[in-house]
Amino acid sequence: MSSARPHPLAFLASLRLTVVLLVMSIILVFAATLDQVHLGVWGVQEKYFRSFFVFSQVGGSGFLFPVFPGGTLLGGVLIVNLVTAHLYRFKWSWKKSGIWLTHIGLILLLAGEGLSGMLQKDNQMRIDVGQTRRYSESFRETELAVIETTHPDYDQVVAIPAALLTAGGSIQHPLLPFVVKPVAYFANADVRMRSQVTNPPPSLATAGEGVDMVATPMAVTTNPDETNWPTGYVELVGPDGSLGTFLVSTLLQSPAPFTYQGRTFRLALRAQRDYLPFTITLEKFTHEIYPGTDIPRDFASTIRLRSDDGRDDRQIRIFMNNPLRFGGRAFYQAGYANNDRTTVLQVVRNPSWQIPYVSCALIVLGLLVQFGLHLFAFFRRRLAGPSRDQARHPAPAAAAPELAAAPKSP
Amino acid sequence: MLFLPSTQRRLRRLALAALCAGLAACNDKSITSYRVPKEPDAAQAPAPDAAAPSGSPAISWTAPSGWQTQPASGMRQGSFLVPGAGGATADMSVVSFPGTGGDDLANINRWRAQVSLPPIAAADLPSQVQNLAAPAGQFVLADFAGTAADKGATRLLGAWLRQPDRVWFFKLMGPADLVESQKEAFTGFLQSVTLAAGGAPVAVNTNDLPQAGPAVQPPFAGPAGAGMTSMPVQAASGASLLWQAPADWQNQPGNAMRKGSYALGGGAEVAITAFPGDVGGVLANVNRWRGQAGLAPVDDAGLAQATSALDSNGMHFTLVDAEGGSNPIVAALLPWNGGTWFFKLTGPVDAVTRAKPAFLSFLGTVHAP
């Protein structure tokens, strides 16, 4: 019985694997939901769903071990399982075209989520009434902006992601006359004036206002009501030697400019910015609540959008579930603050945002086709005459003698 | 044969697409560079009383008489020494934090700890704060009397004001009786606070912006056309200087950062710009211009030779004559109203030499509104 040995790909195409993967997905969602208390929504997504493995310390060893497959791995294997099953097991026929369409829709849905995880960027825009903004800011990512303010008409910005500050090594850029050397980086820190701290430790900063300040590293918070204040020290080194070590922090709102080789610079650690080729002005914000409660009934931003190319200059109303889609981004009404004088828009940039819609359309079409084919076949049998039904489901002679006596169809 | 050749090709394409997507996702860890317009908030409203450092969000206020302005630094956008009887002093600070600045309870308990008071629970919060409606917005006020280490009876008057992307904290802290006497001055100070409203759209050289189309410049705010010899030019909205341009200077369309721009013939040009704060100081700007002109930088000792003073209409210009180099520049720097105004004449050597007398006369027409 050599033919009984299964094909190597039979395992990948098996329904058993599908069931195991779905069960593991359920366990993953359950564990992630419990852990959300400790990590917050974003942390859980990164640890459990947008990773190949869930890492955890085992037995207090201090080392991280992969303890469970992550969402990316499970979703990836599920796609492979579905595709392989189609290629290996399902045979193409018009009668099964609906099933094929439905499954292609499912595969596309899974792939779309994978692409969203890789490509989607979530930012926010906080705009006061009357204010004009042309950039959105990341919720989580931080950048060190080296801003050259020499030119009277514009600022030249070199933006270094904070991840590079933690990676070590010097950072060079053709537009900078110096090298940026990260000295220390804290994802969260408390920064105080030196005079306000008892027995302050010596400062790493040797230049700028950071000399008079103390940065104390703090535990990273995942509480959505609290804020992390990334802080660090960077040394700038030019051809003639060090320009000094500077304290940079998202807490420092007015970093003093410094001059080097006749050019003026500022160092700012800030939320990562995404500059837009258009501006948004908040003209009006309305916030309605259900009478007698604080429950929001409707909140809406009336904005004016002006594109730099002059093609768009229009008024738009953004309200709940009615985002503005423009310039490859979607602007959702996410919140409000400051006694209703400020709107908070969530800015989502996701090149693959249309995939779920296409997937759902394919699934619906597939189901319609599949059920339609069955319905069509049913009606065809009915129209062909009762004898065919009878041939398949012969009626008891005693119950329907007239049918039993009917002539056979050709 | 499990896979048909065409299926294999499709799978390869799929893998290639996935790889491209993966690589695209890795791009957010790379360094980017771009040009942006000067921050409109920082550029439009220099603080008249206590200028915020360059690049900070614009805020202004009127300090009560007797309060001594201290240099703002670091997180402090404003700092005052409030003197009292017998040499006692209280400290007034204005601090700005980005984001939400923590919740109200955390802020209150932080202040209470500074005057040795125990923390309160969230339920007690409403009884500990008051609201103050002011032109700048709704302030939340707190008033705590306690003790501070080595300082005895201490009182803390605190307030915060939430803005779209930051929170402003105002704190007066010092001996109890002195702070009590300054309570009215403190609320008066809060009433005087004004925050710069968001500005008009800013012209950008969008060729330097990521994913940008061609640039569009807003029309120049002042009257257009040449020959406006007797018409003062209002260069931009808000507080601005006025001047009279010579008849043969042609008004050029400016951009949001330029307060005025003129073509003088022969390729010479006059540009007028203004920025909050001291923009790095006189020496840095002089050396910047000297660098643009192709001259060697000067040090503090050489600054006197490189510059001259020009007083006119109560204005005190620092004149920089950088004509010796390949790109001559005659420029003037004018500290005014908490900001710095720059008047710059540039162009070919002979055109600048010809235009210089008219430029100096033009500086004599600059006056406050």
pLDDT digits (tens, 9 = 90+) for A126-182: 888 888 898 999 988 899 999 998 888 889 999 999 988 887 788 989 999 999 999
Question: Taking CB atoms and an 8 Å cutoff, what residues of chain B touch A263?
Answer: 288
Mean per-residue pLDDT, B45-73: 56
pLDDT at B165: 65
CB neighbours of residue A96 within 10 Å: 15
**Which residues in B lie closer than 8 A to residue A126 (C-beta atoms)?**
164-165
pLDDT of B6 over the 70 cut: no
Distance of alpha carbon A129 from alpha carbon B198, whole angstroms: 8
**Interchain CB distance below 8 Å, B73 and A339:** no
Q: How confident is the model at residue A233 (pLDDT cuts 50, 70, 90)?
A: very high
Question: Over B290-351, what HEC string results?
Answer: HHHHCCCCCCHHHHHHHEEEEEECCEEEEEEEECCCCCCEEEEEEEECCEEEEEEEECCHHH
Ranking A225-234, B131-140, B227-236, B244-253 by mean pLDDT, the lowest is B227-236
Surface of A (331-370) touching B: CB under 8 A: 337-339, 341-342
- In this prediction, residue B166 carries a pLDDT of 73
A243/chain B closest Cα distance in angstroms? 16
Pick the residue with more confidence: B364 or B46?
B364
| Percentage of chain A lying above the pLDDT 70 cut | 89
Print burial letters for A265-282: b (CB count within 10 Å at least 16), e (below 16). Answer: bbbbbbbbbbbbbbbbbb
DSSP A372-396: HHHHHHHHHHHHH-HHHHHHHSPPP
The pLDDT value recorded for residue A358 is 94
What is the distance between the alpha carbons of residues B231 and B244, in angstroms, rounded to a whole number? 6
Mean pLDDT calculated for residue range B269-273: 84
The dihedrals phi and psi of B357, each to the nearest 5 degrees, come to -60, -40
Residue spans of the domains in chain A: they are 2-89, 122-133+277-349, 137-274
Q: Which residue has the tokens 């931080």?
A: A142
- The pair of three-digit structure tokens given for residue A174, joined into one six-digit string: 């053709």
Say yes or no for a CB contact (<8 Å) between B28 and A191.
no
* Domains in chain B, CATH or no CATH each: 40-195 (2.60.120.1690), 227-365 (3.40.1000.10)
Interface probe with A: pick from B10, B13, B56, B75, most Cβ of A within 10 Å: B75
**Is the pLDDT reported for residue B235 higher than 70?**
no
Q: Do B288 and A147 touch (CB under 8 A)?
A: no
Contacts of A248 (CB under 8 A, 6+ apart): A144, A210, A231, A232, A233, A234, A255, A267, A268, A269
Q: Can you tell me the mean pLDDT for A18-45?
A: 89
Residues of B in contact with A226 (CB under 8 A): 102-103
The answer to whether B33 contacts A156, with C-beta atoms less than 8 Å apart, is yes
> Average pLDDT in the A269-276 region?
91
Query: Rounded to whole angstroms, how far apart are CA atoms B317 and B335?
Result: 8
A275 and B CB contact within 8 Å:
yes
Decide if pLDDT at A18 tops 70: yes
A154, A209, A338: residue with CB nearest B38: A154
pLDDT tens digits, residue range A53-82? 998 877 666 678 888 999 989 999 998 998
Mean of per-residue pLDDT scores for chain B = 71
By CA distance, what is A274's nearest residue in B? B210
Closest CA to A321 of A311, A310, A331, A336: A331
pLDDT value for A4: 60
Does the distance separating the beta carbons of B40 and A132 come in below 8 Å? yes
Inter-chain touch B275–A152, beta carbons under 8 Å? yes
Write down the pLDDT at residue A63: 79
Rounded to 5°, the CA angle A222-A227-A231 comes to 105
Nearest by CB to B164, which of A131, A158, A262? A131
Backbone angles phi, psi at A43, to 5 degrees: -60, -40
B256: nearest CA partner in chain A: A153
Is 50 exceeded by the pLDDT of residue B80? Answer: yes
How many interface pairs between A and B have CB atoms less than 8 angstroms apart? 215
For the segment B336-351, the average pLDDT, to the nearest whole number, is 85
Nearest to B63 by CA among B197, B195, B186, B178: B186
Type of residue found at B298: V
Per-residue confidence (pLDDT) for residue B1, from 0 to 100: 34
Q: Is A170 on the interface with B (CB under 8 A)?
A: no
> Is B73–A256 a contact, with Cβ atoms under 8 angstroms apart?
yes
CB contact under 8 A, A213 and B74: yes
Question: Tell me, what's the pLDDT at A181?
Answer: 92
For residue B264, what pLDDT is reported? 85
Distance between CA atoms of residues B273 and A289, nearest Å: 47
Pairwise pLDDT comparison (A279 vs B133), residue with the higher score: A279
Average pLDDT score over chain A: 84
pLDDT tier, B49 (very low <50, low <70, confident <90, very high otherwise): very low
Closest partner residue to A212 (CB to CB) among B73, B202, B284 is B73
Contact A259 B2 (CB under 8 A): no
Quick check: A289 pLDDT over 60? yes
CB distance from A197 to chain B under 8 Å?
no
